[in-house]
Amino acid sequence: MTPDQELEELRAENVELRRRVETAETMIADLRAEALVRRTEVRQLAEALPAAMSRHALVWGMLRDVRHHPDKAGVLKRALRKLGRAPRKAMRILLRKS
pLDDT tens readout for residues 42-92: 888 888 777 667 778 888 988 888 888 888 888 889 888 988 888 888 888
| Greater model confidence, 56 or 35 | 35
Looking at residue 37, its pLDDT comes to 94
The tens digit of pLDDT for each residue in 15-34 reads: 999 999 999 999 999 999 99
Rounded to whole angstroms, the Cα distance separating 23 from 77 reads 33
Q: Which residues of 19-49 are buried (b: 16+ CB within 10 A; e: fewer)?
A: eeeeeeeeeeeeeeeeeeeeeeeeeeeeeee
Is 65 strand, coil or helix?
Answer: helix
Looking at residue 52, its pLDDT comes to 67
Using the predicted structure, report yes or no on whether residue 1 has a pLDDT greater than 90.
no
pTM for this structure? Answer: 0.45
